[in-house]
Amino acid sequence: PEYSDSFPHKAYTLGFAGHPGGPSWYINMVDNSVIHGPGGQSHHVLDGHGDPCFAIVVEGFDAVKRVQEVPTRDGIWMEERVGITKATILTSTKGQKKDDTPPTTT
């Protein structure tokens, strides 16, 4: 899926990015809609493309903040390996649009 205006890069959303070394994902700690949305990154060949969001953190915010504090190289690559030991997929059709774009959150 591609970027959708109905699921922007708000704080605590997860975005998918394709790096030269392979696919990757990240957690937005602030609203990054301008940076990761359409036209925000030069690696998108077509105008209007952006990194898609595919999830939102609904609990465990303290754990996300601890991960953010892990030292990095070049501001990107973590110096120590960080793993996720548990994740739960929640689904909801409430507010779902016919075109399958995720519902907006507040």
What's the whole-model pTM score? 0.66
H or E stretch covering 55: strand 53-56
pLDDT of residue 99: 47
pLDDT digits (tens, 9 = 90+) for 48-103: 677 888 888 988 899 899 888 899 888 778 888 888 888 888 876 555 444 444 44
Q: Is the pLDDT of residue 7 over 50?
A: yes
Q: Is the pLDDT of residue 20 over 60?
A: no
Residue 15: burial class (beta carbons within 10 Å; 0-12, 13-18, 19+)? buried
pLDDT of residue 94: 56
**pLDDT, average across residues 8-13:** 89
Measured distance CA(91)–CA(106) in Å, rounded? 16
